[in-house]
Amino acid sequence: MAGGLRTRKKQRLWIVSTALTAVIGAVLLILFALGGDGFNLFLQPTAVKEKQIVAGQRFRLGGLVKAASFRRLEDGLTYEFLVTDCVTDINVHFRGILPDLFREGQGVITEGRLDDTGLFVADTVLAKHDENYAPPGTAPKDAGLCEHPEEGGFGAYTKEKNLVAKEEEALL
């Protein structure tokens, strides 16, 4: 009977150690597959310029749609706009249907590739909404987005937009 207990303990120990090794191996494989930059959901324009992304390499570009940069081309399904992080701008070319939340001054994530000229050719556009709720009359939604709105960043657009919104609120 004592020999039977040792065999069961050895079997249980072997099963537990094999399962633990398999789990550790799976986690390491996932981390290796993601690589060093795998945890970045998107790159901002400044990071794209700093990393000197190779033309043709697929990645996600995120930032704000710069005010007064949106343009619809003649075919009606092709769009061009600038994605900015208030420091660097990247030209984006997209052919398809834009999401309903897409507008200038709004957050956006695009997926695609840089071409040889530095134009980002997107095949997917995701519009981001502001997840921070601020009741009317509190701090403006753009607080902290752009430190230098006089340089034509997103802050200048939003401050004008907030002034109009406050005037409309006062009328209600």
Three-state secondary-structure class, residue 30: helix
Q: Mean pLDDT: which of 127-131, 139-143, 144-148, 168-172 is highest?
A: 127-131
The pLDDT tens digits for 71-117 are 999 999 999 999 999 999 999 999 999 999 999 988 999 999 999 99
Q: Where are the beta strands (DSSP E) in the chain?
A: 58-65, 71-72, 78-84, 89-95, 107-114, 120-128
Pairing of strands 89-95, 120-128: parallel
Q: Based on the number of CB atoms within 10 Å of its own CB, is 128 exposed (0-12), middle (13-18) or buried (19 or more)? A: middle
Question: 6 φ, ψ to 5°?
Answer: -65, -40
